[in-house]
């Protein structure tokens, strides 16, 4: 199948060719004709399979077919994105696909100046790419209206929920006209995301080109058993021995990412860190240096790295194993994009053995355990229990049970039976001085 079998607009086909796209991916082959019918769509496909083009190409063609000169404060289509980085990349891709058309695109996200966004909105916009917070802010300022939206897209729907944007999406939906077409796209479609989608979409068509949450088959998954206090030493050893183009290292927390980056820089390895506390301009500089290869090692948290679409990331390293299987799938999806191959490496210390078991069950396959390195721990490899703190829920439950067994409580109405005449006078009783004794 060729793109010419799916797209009829010659200007768009030329832009697709200029962008280096050759054949449509499975999600594109299924979604493009479905979207052109006007149906609401729920699309699910793993990262790196071309979801952006799957909804962007038919969206551009539909808008181009009915194009008229931009009218004041009119927005024809809206694409919601969970993060600034993802919104920026999304808008870049859409502008490339629409480069030969007269469609006007606008990117709206926090951290950018209001003036340009407001002036462009006043002139009219065909495609608006936005993060929910800034978009709602513009609506409250009465500089943005959604009453003429023709196509509404939620990209990375699962991450929208993870970041707490579900109430914002529900707030936006009633502002849209009843006749709009709605599209939900995501790498995974958990029950909460599906519930949100079905509450907004009308009789949606479900499209899934891959098993939900499946990990890419062309990713080699490796496992390193290591003591927690040896993790950094293993990482340094690995970065000096691996042959890599770009390495993305995942940490669970911002603080952990910062500390790890400081230690790596002290070893004179070219590394930088990306997380939510970085200023927008700084974040873009960091990504640009990583994309160009100037800084080939990037330490990141899950939230900051979500949506990174950079080619030639040869290795993903899970310095901290994630405690959710879906997160593992998203992480390793940063490599092996667009049919390339990649390597996903996971460190596992005793406290992460339970996370590892859940990931392996989810994948339905084993990882290749690598033992040929100076920090391999045979003890952790065969460890089957859980490392718990002394204040685990089980212990608290046990202590509570003991207290319940050893604490004496009066039944209702039994308080009057505490003392009888035979017990003698009660001690420490506060007497009424006005009461006389006979």
- Asked if 3-208 and 219-382 have one fold, the answer is yes
Q: Which residues contact 39 (CB under 8 A, 6 or more apart)?
A: 181, 203, 204, 205
Q: Would you give per-residue pLDDT tens digits along the chain (438 residues)? A: 888 899 999 999 999 999 888 889 889 999 999 999 999 999 988 767 788 999 999 999 999 988 776 566 689 999 999 888 888 889 999 999 999 999 999 999 887 888 888 999 988 899 999 999 999 999 999 999 999 999 999 998 887 887 788 899 999 999 999 999 999 998 777 788 888 888 899 999 999 875 444 455 678 999 999 999 999 999 999 999 999 999 999 999 989 999 999 999 999 999 999 887 777 678 888 888 998 999 999 999 887 666 566 778 999 999 999 988 878 887 887 887 666 788 999 999 999 999 999 999 888 888 999 999 999 999 998 887 555 534 344 444 444 444 444 444 445 555 454 444 444 554 454 555 555 454
The residue among 179, 182, 176 whose CA lies nearest residue 147 is 176
CB-based contact 176:146 (threshold 8 Å): yes
Q: CATH code for 3-208?
A: 3.40.50.300
* CATH architecture assigned to 219-382: 3-Layer(aba) Sandwich (3.40)
3-class DSSP assignment, residue 178: coil
Report CA torsion sign: 164, 169, 170, 172: positive
Residue 205: Cβ within 10 Å count = 15
Work out the number of other CB atoms within 10 angstroms of the CB of residue 334.
25
DSSP 157: H
Listed by start position, the domains of the chain span 3-208, 219-382
Strand bridging mode 247-250 / 315-318: parallel
What letter does residue 435 receive in the DSSP assignment? Answer: P
Full-model pTM: 0.65
* Cα–Cα dist 329/322, whole Å: 10
């Amino acid at each position: 199948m060729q793109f010419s079998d799916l797209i009829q607009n010659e200007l768009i086909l030329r832009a697709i060719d200029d962008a280096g796209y050759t054949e449509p991916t499975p999600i594109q082959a299924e979604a493009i004709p479905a979207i052109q019918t006007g149906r609401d769509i729920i699309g699910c496909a793993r990262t790196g399979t071309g979801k952006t083009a799957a909804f962007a190409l038919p969206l551009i063609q539909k808008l181009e077919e009915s194009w008229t000169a931009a009218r004041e404060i009119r927005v024809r289509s809206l694409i919601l994105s969970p993060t600034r980085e993802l919104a920026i990349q999304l808008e870049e891709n859409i502008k490339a696909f629409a480069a030969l058309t007269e469609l006007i695109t606008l990117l709206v996200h926090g951290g950018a100046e209001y003036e340009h966004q407001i002036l462009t909105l006043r002139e009219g916009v065909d495609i608006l790419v936005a993060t929910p917070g800034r978009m709602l802010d513009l609506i409250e300022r009465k500089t943005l209206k959604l009453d003429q939206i023709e196509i509404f897209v939620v990209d990375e729907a699962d991450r929208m929920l993870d970041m707490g944007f579900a109430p914002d999406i529900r707030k936006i939906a009633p502002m849209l006209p009843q006749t709009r077409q709605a599209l939900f796209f995501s790498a995974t479609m958990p029950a909460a995301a599906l519930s949100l989608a079905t509450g907004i979409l009308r009789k949606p068509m479900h499209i899934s080109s891959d098993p939900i949450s499946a990990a890419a088959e062309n990713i080699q998954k490796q496992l390193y058993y290591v003591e927690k206090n040896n993790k950094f030493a293993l990482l340094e050893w690995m970065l000096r021995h691996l042959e890599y183009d770009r390495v993305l290292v995942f940490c669970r927390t911002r603080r952990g990412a910062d500390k790890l980056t400081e230690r790596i820089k002290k070893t004179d390895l070219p590394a930088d860190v990306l997380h939510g506390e970085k200023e927008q301009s700084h974040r873009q500089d960091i990504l640009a240096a990583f994309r160009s290869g100037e800084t080939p090692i990037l330490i990141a948290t899950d939230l900051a790295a979500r949506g990174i679409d950079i080619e030639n990331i040869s290795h993903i390293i899970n310095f901290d194993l994630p405690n959710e299987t879906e997160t593992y799938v998203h992480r390793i999806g940063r490599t092996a994009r667009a049919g390339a191959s990649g390597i996903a490496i996971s460190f596992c210390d005793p406290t992460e053995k339970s996370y590892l078991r859940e990931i392996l069950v989810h994948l339905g396959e084993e990882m290749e355990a690598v033992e040929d390195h100076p920090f391999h721990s045979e003890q952790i490899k065969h460890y089957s229990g859980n490392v718990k703190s002394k204040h685990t829920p089980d212990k608290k439950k046990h202590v509570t049970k003991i207290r319940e067994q050893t604490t004496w409580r009066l039944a209702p109405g039994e308080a009057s039976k505490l003392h009888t005449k035979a017990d003698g006078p009660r001690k420490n009783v506060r007497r009424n001085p006005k009461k006389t004794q006979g």
